[in-house]
Copies of this chain bind each other. A is one copy, B any other.
Amino acid sequence: MFEFSITSQAGSARTGRFITPHGDLQTPVFAPVGTQATVKTLTPEHLAGLHASLVLSNTYHLYLRPGDELVAEMGGLHNFMQWPHPMLTDSGGFQVFSLAKTRKIDDDGVTFKSHIDGSTHRFTPEKSIAIQENLGADIIMAFDECADPNNAAYIRKAMERTHRWAERSLQAHKRPDQALFGIVQGGVDPDLRARSAEFIAALPFPGIAIGGLSVGETKHEMYRTLEVVTPLLPENKPRYLMGVGTPEDLINGVLRGVDIFDCVLPTRLARHNAAFSPTGRLNLMNAAYAHDKQPIDAACDCYTCRTFSRAYLRHLIVARELLAGTLISIHNLRALIRLMETIRAQIADGTFTTRAHELLKLWQGNAARIHTPAPELLA
């Protein structure tokens, strides 16, 4: 179980197969986020229809509501939400630092107040693993501390704590049907990142996550950090870039050797009426689309693009019909999953490094900026 094999390579980019108890993942892969045991507004049928293969759910949220013990009683997350394919849970670390009302951190763990009702809770590495064992995802995460990227002194401390918590997470981990990934931290300091990558790489994790990015640093910093980290990771383990998922970040991540991504962006944008398209992000509430008979993207094979006009989607938005969010979510997720399919095909046929620029150009209107990868990545 959890065998990872690289099936083709192009520069630092690679395609692979990751075997999990709920099926094989073809990497690079993008995972839709189902924070509360549901990818917002979509049924598992929708997800299967857009060829999602991996779904992420959030430990912090499910621990608070409905409770990980209830999920375990219902047969685990796969059975509870009826997603029969691979799943991943994070450690709860990021949410404790970004969502909880207050938090008090010590070397043993974090005491925090729930963002829902203000009640007090405590996460330790052991607790995070116990919760994730109750949830039962195929891929689970070591408990980590995600520090403010602009506070250098704190970042070092948080990184060191993350390393000790990684060792304790490994100790606590028992279920052989769950792959526990370690998490590299270290902010955007190349030396700290290198130290963290080497430390985590030396531990017996079957996969390695890169955390603490897409949290306020620049795109340049994110991509340079990846260029420091991935060369220090073992070739034969899957690499997961946490919480990252604009089209250009996916392309740039794969160029730098990343295998797994997740992000709330496609579904969150959808609920704000924004759709990914090769001609740039569309705000479908715009009056320009009132009479537009075209689909969001004529080249897209999703249910929404095969079925509905922009004019209809705009009508749903203006009339405040919730179906708009569902239909645009279907498109945005399929757009990223289809992008990953294209990338995998281009890596397999050896054209990715030469064609990555094309892909970046095609999707550039969906980002604030374009970051050209270093020439050595395209060689």
Which A residues fall within an 8 A CB radius of B? 36-38, 40-45, 61, 65-66, 70, 73-74, 80-82, 290-291, 293, 303, 307-309, 311-312, 314-316, 318-319, 321-323, 325-327
B303 in contact with A74 (CB, 8 Å) = no
A321 in contact with B36 (CB, 8 Å) = yes
A303 in contact with B43 (CB, 8 Å) = yes
A323 in contact with B43 (CB, 8 Å) = yes
In whole angstroms, what is the CA distance A290 to B74 when docked? Answer: 10
B326 in contact with A38 (CB, 8 Å) = no
Residues A40 and B322 in contact in the complex (CB < 8 Å), given A66-B290, A82-B307:
yes
Distance in Å: Cβ of A43 to nearest Cβ of chain B: 7
Partner of A38, one of B43, B303, B311, B323: B323
Residues A315 and B65 in contact in the complex (CB < 8 Å), given A303-B45, A322-B322:
yes
Find the B residue at minimum CB distance from A44: B307
In whole angstroms, what is the CA distance A321 to B321 when docked? Answer: 15
B291 in contact with A73 (CB, 8 Å) = yes
List the number of copies, as a whole number: 2
Partner of A74, one of B42, B74, B82, B312: B312
* Residues of chain B lying within 8 A (CB to CB) of residue A309: 74, 80
B38 in contact with A321 (CB, 8 Å) = yes
* Residues of chain B lying within 8 A (CB to CB) of residue A74: 291, 293, 309, 311-312
Leading 7 A-B pairs by shortest Cβ distance: A66-B315, A36-B319, A38-B323, A82-B307, A38-B321, A41-B322, A65-B319
In whole angstroms, what is the CA distance A320 to B196 when docked? Answer: 38
A312 in contact with B43 (CB, 8 Å) = no
B327 in contact with A325 (CB, 8 Å) = no
Q: List 6 A-B contacts (CB under 8 A).
A: A36-B315, A61-B319, A66-B318, A74-B291, A74-B293, A74-B312
A42 in contact with B323 (CB, 8 Å) = yes
Residues A38 and B316 in contact in the complex (CB < 8 Å), given A43-B323, A323-B43:
yes
Distance in Å: Cβ of A232 to nearest Cβ of chain B: 39
In whole angstroms, what is the CA distance A61 to B315 when docked? Answer: 12
In whole angstroms, what is the CA distance A327 to B37 when docked? Answer: 14
* Residues of chain B lying within 8 A (CB to CB) of residue A73: 291
Residues A43 and B327 in contact in the complex (CB < 8 Å), given A36-B321, A74-B309, A321-B38:
yes
In whole angstroms, what is the CA distance A18 to B290 when docked? Answer: 35
B307 in contact with A40 (CB, 8 Å) = no
In whole angstroms, what is the CA distance A323 to B271 when docked? Answer: 13
* Residues of chain B lying within 8 A (CB to CB) of residue A321: 36, 38, 40
* Residues of chain B lying within 8 A (CB to CB) of residue A70: 290-291, 311, 315
Partner of A65, one of B41, B312, B318, B326: B318
Distance in Å: Cβ of A359 to nearest Cβ of chain B: 30
Find the B residue at minimum CB distance from A80: B312
Distance in Å: Cβ of A95 to nearest Cβ of chain B: 14
Distance in Å: Cβ of A104 to nearest Cβ of chain B: 26
